[in-house]
Structure 1
Amino acid sequence: MLEVVVFLCGAVVMVIELAATRVLAPFLGTSTVVWTSIIGVILGALSLGYWWGGRLADRHPNPKALSLIILGAAVCTALIGFSRSFVVEMIQASGAGLHAGSLQAVLLLFAPAATLLGMVAPFAARIRMTDPERAGSTVGRLYALSTMGSIVGTFAGGFFLIAWFGSAAILFLMAGVLALASILCHVGSWPLKAGLAGVFVALYLLAASDARSLAASGIVDVDTPYQRVLVYPSRDFTTGRDMLAMSTGPEGVQGGVYPDDPQALALNYTRYLTLASHFAPDMRRVLVLGGGAYAFPKYVLGKHPQARVDVVELDPGITELARAHFFLPDDPRLNVRHEDARTFLNANTGRYDAIVVDVFNSHASIPFHLATLETARRLAAALDDDGVLLVNTITALEGPRSRLYKSFYATYARVFPQVHPVRTWSPGLKTDMQNVLLVCFKSPAPRPWISPDESAQARLDQRQPAPELDGALVLTDDYAPVERYLTGW
């Protein structure tokens, strides 16, 4: 049974590590900084556990002590489920930056459980070590079992468990598994351990039912195969209208719809995407990278009956939510492909009258491989000679964090003869993070920036002068330090 226990604990470590990304994402995003904090802290905690477990095993090499360690790990894992939101919200309110905040969150929430689980393999090896001449094979076998468990936990957690059960429920379920593993290790005091296992399973069921009750009240909190997504009732602060919002990160709303007018563009920046209609009024083929709430694809389907729209959305869970809550229709002119936008562009041979890139939906997590010179070249190859490309970026126009904006501009200007920044948030400070639209053309021929439509003209008037490119970097697949630029480093 000891070997089974080692395998289970190895699996639970990796499920907890993967769940950490979903716990932190709504507050800190899923950038490389957050992943680095998770991996580094948990590796450090495991190392501490290996050392501590080995020392303790030399003093008390018996299954009872190991059973108590595993039971402690079960309690710590359950405590993550209880305290996750409070701890991360407290850190966020303290003003800690992304680097310090993510480190603090992982240390407080996940390091205790990881440390205790790190103690299991060396402790088990000491218990099994009865023949000094076979010490090497004993240690090797148990560590191999622990690693095999981690492999199973990685694939099961990443491919199935978290998407099926959600980040909160899976933590309570893993706590229940550890409580049962404690019984397998040492039956003593089994009623207490079994009772704790039952409590953890009950908490798992409660967390699962809580998600259903939230959905019944109009709030959807779901873990898709790629991310954690919130859908909830909100209000448009510019118009005062009721709105249904979608959030996939710590910066508020990434998608929205007016339930009483599903065809209207609820988010301000999406209204600026209609500039595609100004520059390509007769568009017939449209490519949208990034589906979200599918606001712009719905707009094109409604306003351009001759147009066909290809949408590339990585996450099929997002598309399901758009169909269930954001009035995404089944339309023969809409073709949705679930794959990474860059892989689509790499294989694409079609040409489009208008392309909209809306994949930078969070300044805490920018997919760097879609911000590079190589991507810009692929977009140019996919754009018709008279077409228009609109890239929605999230950046600051001025100040320390404007280096990302300047680098975006420099990168696209290397490929497109015309790159026009358009500010979509005029009341705010230029040093604030905001949506800035890059309007790009393949031809150097002048394009009209005058419209008889007043609302369109108001948006056209938000065109900004080209930025000074001091400190700008042409971003490439080899070197694109977008997260460093976001923090102003």
Structure 2
Amino acid sequence: MLELVVFLCGAVVMVIELAATRVLAPALGTSTVVWTSIIGVILAAMALGYWWGGRLADRRPSPKALSLVILGASVCTGLIGFSRSFVVEMIQASGSGLHFGSVQAVALLFAPPATLLGMVAPFAARIRMTDCARAGSTVGRLYALSTLGSIAGTFAGGFFLISYFGSVTILFLLAAVLAGASILCHVGKWPLKASVGLAFAALYLLAAVENRAQAASGMVDVDTPYQRVLVYPSLDFSTGRPMRALSTGPEGVQGGVYPDDPDALALNYTRYLSLAEHLAPDMRRVLVLGGGAFAMPKYVLARHEQATVDVVELDPGITKLARAHFFLPESPRLRILHEDARTFLNTNGARYDVIVEDVFNSAASIPFHLATVETVRRLYDALEDDGVLVVNTIAALDGPKSRLYKSFFATYASVFPQVHSLRAWTASPETQPQNILLFCFKNTAPRQWTSADAAVQARLERRLDPPDTAGALVLSDDFAPVERYLTGW
């Protein structure tokens, strides 16, 4: 049984690590900074556990003591489910910033169970060690079992468990599994241990029921294969009009729809994406990179009967939510491809009148490989000679954080002979990240920047003067420090 316990604990610690990304995502995002904090802090916690477990095992090398350690890990894991919101909100209120804040969050929430689980393998090795001549093989076997458990937990958690059970409910399930492992390690006081396991199992079921109740009320909290997504009733802050919102990160709303007018563009920045139809009124082939709530594809399908739309959306879970909650229709003119936008561009041979790149939808998690000059060259090749590329970026216009905007502009201008930028919302301070749209053309022919439509003209007048790109970095696959530039470091 001891070998089975070591295997289970190795598996659980990796599922906890994967769950950490989903627990923190709504508040801190899923950037490299957050991943670095999770990996670094949990490794540090496990190192502490190895040291502490070895010392404790030398003093009390008994299955009973190990059983209590595992039961403690069970309780700490379950407590994450109770304390996660309080801890994250407290850190946000403290203004710690992304780097220190993510380290704090992981240390407070996930380091305690990781430390206790790190104690298991050295403790078990000491219990099994009865012959010094075979010490090496004993230690090697148990650490190998722990590592195999971690491998199993990584694949099971990443491919199946997180997206099936959800990031929060699975914490209670893992706590119940650890309580069971505690009993397997030492049967003593099994009624107490069984009660702890049953309590967390009941909490898991309760959390699952609560998720269904939230869905029935219009609030959906779901873990897709790639991310945690929130769908909830909201209001258009500028008009008070009811809308349904989609959120995948800490910046609030990344997608939205008016239930009484599903084809309208509900979010402010998406209305600027629609300037593509002013600049390419005869569009017939449209490519949208990044589906989200599928606002732009629905808009094109409804207003341009001659147009076909290809949408490249990495996450099939997002498309499923768009079908269920954002009125995404079935249409022979709509083709949805579930793959990374860069891999699509690498093999694409088609050309489009309009390309909309809307993948930079979270300031806390910018996919750097879609911001590089290598990607821009592929976008250039995919665009018709008289077409328009519209890019939604997240960046600051002024101050230390403006290096990202200038780098974006310099990168696209290094490939496209004509690049213009528009600011989607003037109420935001220029020193803070916000939606800035780039409009790129393959030739220098003048474009029409006036319109008889007052609403369109008001948006066209938000065009900015070109930024000073002297010294700006042309982002590349080899070097694209988008997160460092975004935070002003």
Q: TM-score range by the shorter chain?
A: over 0.9
CA shift digits 1:95-132 (9 cap, x unpaired): 11000000000000000000000000000000000011
Tell me, in whole angstroms, the C-alpha distance in 1 between the residues paired with 2:94 and 2:62. Answer: 44
Show CA shifts across 1:230-259 (max 9, x none): 000100011110010000000000000011
Amino acid across the alignment from 1:355 = I
1:215 is the counterpart of 2:211: no
SS of structure 2 residue aligned to 1:245 = strand
Query: What's 1:204 paired with?
Result: 204
In 2, distance between residues paired with 1:86 and 1:474?
41
Give the TM-score normalised by structure 1: 0.99
Corresponding residue of 1:340: 340
Task: Give, in whole Å, the separation in 1 of the partners of 2:430 and 2:78.
Answer: 44
The answer to whether 1:375 aligns with 2:375 is yes
Structure 1, residues 249-291: CA drift from partner, whole Å, max 9, x if none? 0000000001111111100000011111011111110000000
Partner Cα separation in structure 2 for residue 100 and residue 210 of structure 1: 32
Distance (Å, rounded) in 1 between the aligned partners of 2:301 and 2:188 = 66
Q: For residue 436 of structure 1, what is the amino acid of its counterpart?
A: I
Matched, 1:445 2:445: yes
In the other structure, the counterpart of 1:294 is 294
DSSP 3-state at the match of 2:449? coil
| 2:311–2:335 CA contact under 8 A, matched in 1 | yes
1:20-31 → structure 2 map (5 Å cutoff): 20-31=20-31
For residue 168 of structure 2, give the secondary structure of its aligned residue in structure 1.
Answer: helix
Q: Is 2:167 the counterpart of 1:167?
A: yes
* Offset of residue 471 of structure 1: 4.2
Matches of residues 87-102 of structure 1 in structure 2 within 5 Å? 87-102=87-102
User: Would the aligned equivalents of 1:235 and 1:242 in 2 still touch at CA under 8 Å?
Assistant: yes
8 Å Cα contact 2:433-2:486 kept in structure 1: no
Query: In 2, are the aligned partners of 1:391 and 1:439 still within 8 Å (CA)?
Result: yes
Give the distance between the partners of 1:148 and 1:350, measured in 2 at CA: 45
Cross-structure match for 1:307:
307
Helix, strand or coil: the match of 1:401? helix
SS of residue in 1 equivalent to 2:310: strand
* Structure 1 CA distance for aligned equivalents of residues 470 and 430 of structure 2: 17
Shift of residue 399 of structure 1?
A: 1.1
Structure 2: which 5+ runs fail to align?
A: none
Task: Letter of the 2:121 partner, please give it.
Answer: A
Q: Which range is displaced more, 125-134 or 453-462? A: 453-462
| Matching residue of 1:15 | 15
Tell me if structure 1 keeps the 8 A contact 2:315–2:338: yes
Supply the distance in 2 between the matched residues of 1:275 and 1:153 (Cα, whole angstroms). 47
Between the aligned partners of 2:348 and 2:185, the Cα distance in structure 1 is 55
Summarize deviations over 1:1-46 as a string: whole Å, max 9, x none: 0000000000000000000000000000000000000000000000
- Match of 2:181? 181
Letter in 2 for 1:127: I
Q: Give the letter for the 2:316 counterpart.
A: P
Structure 1: segments with no counterpart, 5+ residues: none
2:231 is paired with a residue of what secondary structure? strand
Q: Distance in 1 between matches of 2:233 and 2:278?
A: 32
Query: What is the alpha-carbon distance in structure 1 between the residues aligned to residue 179 and residue 432 of structure 2?
Result: 48
SS in 2 for 1:310: strand
Deviations 1:347-403 (A, max 9, x none): 100000000000011000000000000000000000001100000001111111111
Aligned residues of 1:401 and 1:487 also touching (Cα < 8 A): yes
Task: Name the structure 1 match of 2:362.
Answer: 362
**1:115 maps to 2:96:** no
Q: Within the alignment, does 1:6 sit opposite 2:6 as a pair?
A: yes
Q: How high is the TM-score relative to the length of structure 2?
A: 0.99
Say which SS state the counterpart of residue 293 (structure 2) adopts: coil
Q: Percent identity?
A: 78
Q: Which amino acid aligns with 1:249?
A: G
Look up the match of 2:323: 323
CA distance in structure 2 between the partners assigned to 1:455 and 1:107 by the alignment: 49
The match for 1:399 is 399
Show the counterpart of 2:149: 149
1:152-184 CA distance string (max 9 Å, x none): 000000000010010111000000000000000
Counterpart check, 1:66 vs 2:66 = yes
Preserved contact between residue 424 and residue 437 of structure 2 (Cα < 8 Å): yes
Tell me, in whole angstroms, the C-alpha distance in 1 between the residues paired with 2:298 and 2:184: 55
State the alpha-carbon separation in 1 of the partners of residues 195 and 431 from structure 2. 55
How far apart are the structure 2 equivalents of 1:449 and 1:260? Answer: 31
What is residue 416 of structure 1 aligned with on the other side? 416
Whether contact under 8 Å (1:403, 1:471) holds in the other structure is no
**What is the root-mean-square deviation of aligned Cα atoms in Å?**
0.6
